[in-house]
Amino acid sequence: MKVATLSLILSCPSVITAASIRGQKEKQTHAKSVNIGECSGAAILLLIQENPHFSEALHALDSPAEAAIDELCNHRSLSRTLQDTESIPFSHVTARGRQFDKNYFDGGSDWNTGLAGTSKETNAGRIPAVASALSSKQLSWPSHIVNFDDSDSCQLRTAMCCFTKAQDPSTGVVSNINDATAFQNAIQPNADVCTVHLDRSPQAGHVTNGKTYYSDGRSVEDETKDAYCTGFFWSQDQDDISTQYRANTLFHISMMDSFYNNNLVGGVPGAPMCGCVEQMPVVSHANCVKPSQARRLSVSSNSGDDKPRLLLDASLDFVPCEEEESLVVAFAAANNAEEAEALSKIVTGSCVDAVDEDLTAQSYKRGSAWWHADEESWIPIIGSKFLYHPEMSAEDVKAAFETSSTKTIRRICTSCSPSHRDVYYKRLTAVPDSLDLLNMLKDSFSSVDNILGTDFTISSKDKNGSSTPWTHCEYSDARGFPYQCGPDGTVTKQWTSTKSGATYAKIYAYYIEK
């Protein structure tokens, strides 16, 4: 018996309205493929009762058409069609060995980087062929790959892929996902990368410990959407479609949809590109996908005395999790609160709180160290030891000071007394040609054209940023800034001197405010 297949993809459990059915019917009355949202006699008849491809089979039914189609939709053997198929080893997907599969999921195979002179269709043309074969076949879970080892990981029954790079299909050039606009990538970044815990997946990053913070975490405006993350979860029920076809879903989100269809190829440095969430980086968001059972209606052709019959079989489809795209929200709706909270520590909603919370737990406080001078605001003149900066020429110092908006010089000295660690010299009068600012700072803080209260002011800041004006100053032709000046009296051995070792200002740097 020869079968002529007329495709009707019946994607339960989506809801469809009568208006949308009518609209589709008007456009596709005689089409061989029509998408609907309900597998029932009433819904299907609206689409096929005037379709000549189905008319003979409908007339040949032994029972009313609506009841006959309902029986096909509800037949027990049909609902079990997908679950009863034989499992295919995951290694058959690429047929290039376990090491290749591991490298791919870490972002380091030639599928991720491309082969020079070879198109994606040639190098990875196996992917769409495998996708077609897996439309009704169960794929085995790749637990032999450490990224998906469900004996030691995957306790949240959730896997995720995060892509930060994309490949130009015409040239093979790989670039950051936000720079890949030249080939109009269909998938747009949806997540910020917050933190990579290197110990969570040492095989991927080849580092056993440490953390990398990617998001600034200071404000929402600083988040840049530098990754595309998508994931799925499965049930504890081994017979549930989400569990039975979790490997098929992994293949879909990683290889078929993201890589082959949308050219996404690289992960976050130090983390797997795809893995169970316990091994993945902390990110702000991930979309959610789930497997769905689609049904295909066909009609057999006449052969001898056989009359045409309606046939219905099953295949896989992948759809967003209900109407909610968020992996965390969909997971929370289907699992207990403790598991949902654990997942929300990995897919956080925002890097701002996640980074701050992680730093607080380690007794760190966000913000710059008191001795940090932002070079967007301060021009380095000279520095020693870990504050080292090559010395500017006297001419360059003079030119930079002339263009300063505040005429302020800052000295940071980590080896000085607290009152002298962060000091500001603000000029009140113009610097005469006879005054060498660089020499004054380094070796000769004299009183010539340089009197406190007349030519300049000095103030200092403590570790909390509170400012204290200085009222006392002493001068020297043989010692640098600020010699024995202090907040309210003489303070010794806090000066800078490049000619004498009698100083506590051993680790210091000078800056001019822009």
Q: Is residue 101 situated within a structural domain?
A: yes
For residue 443, the one-letter residue type is D
Enumerate helices (H) and strands (E) in the chain, giving the number of each: 18, 20
* Whether residue 116 sits in one domain with residue 261: yes
* Domain boundaries, position 443: 378-513
* Whether residue 108 sits in one domain with residue 219: yes
Across the chain, which has 514 residues, the per-10-residue mean pLDDT values are 36 33 39 54 76 74 78 57 68 93 93 80 88 86 93 92 87 78 67 89 81 64 76 93 94 95 91 95 94 73 62 79 84 93 92 79 71 91 93 96 97 94 97 95 95 97 91 95 96 87 81 97
* Whether residue 146 sits in one domain with residue 2: no
* Whether residue 303 sits in one domain with residue 273: no
Domain count, the chain: 3
pLDDT at 68: 79
Helix or strand holding residue 161 (H, E): strand 158-163
For residue 417, the one-letter residue type is S
Residues with Cβ within 8 Å of residue 131, at least 6 apart in sequence: 251, 252, 256
The runs of H, that is alpha helices, within 154-303 are: 202-205, 241-244, 246-251
Q: What SS3 state is found at 319?
A: strand
* Whether residue 455 sits in one domain with residue 384: yes
Q: Is residue 135 situated within a structural domain?
A: yes
Residue from 310, 291, 292, 315 nearest 300 by CA: 310
**Interatomic CA distance for residues 104 and 113, integer angstroms:** 10
* Whether residue 302 sits in one domain with residue 179: no
Q: Is residue 255 situated within a structural domain?
A: yes
* Whether residue 276 sits in one domain with residue 142: yes
pLDDT at 82: 52
* Whether residue 298 sits in one domain with residue 282: no
361, 386, 420: which is the final residue of a domain? 361
* Whether residue 249 sits in one domain with residue 122: yes
Residues with Cβ within 8 Å of residue 465, at least 6 apart in sequence: none
Tell me the pTM: 0.64
- CA angle centred on 34, ends 30 and 36, rounded to 5°: 135
Q: Is residue 371 situated within a structural domain?
A: no
Q: Is residue 174 situated within a structural domain?
A: yes
Q: What SS3 state is found at 197?
A: strand
**Interatomic CA distance for residues 89 and 141, integer angstroms:** 8
The runs of H, that is alpha helices, within 222-350 are: 241-244, 246-251, 327-334, 337-344
Q: Is residue 367 situated within a structural domain?
A: no
Residue from 428, 422, 436, 432 nearest 482 by CA: 422
User: What's the half-sphere exposure (Cβ side, CA atoms, 13 Å) at 47?
Assistant: 30
pLDDT at 17: 33
* Whether residue 121 sits in one domain with residue 268: yes
Q: Is residue 81 situated within a structural domain?
A: no
Q: Is residue 83 situated within a structural domain?
A: no
* Whether residue 356 sits in one domain with residue 218: yes
Strand 287-300, strand 228-233: pairing: parallel
* Whether residue 108 sits in one domain with residue 24: no
Beta bridge partners of 297: 312
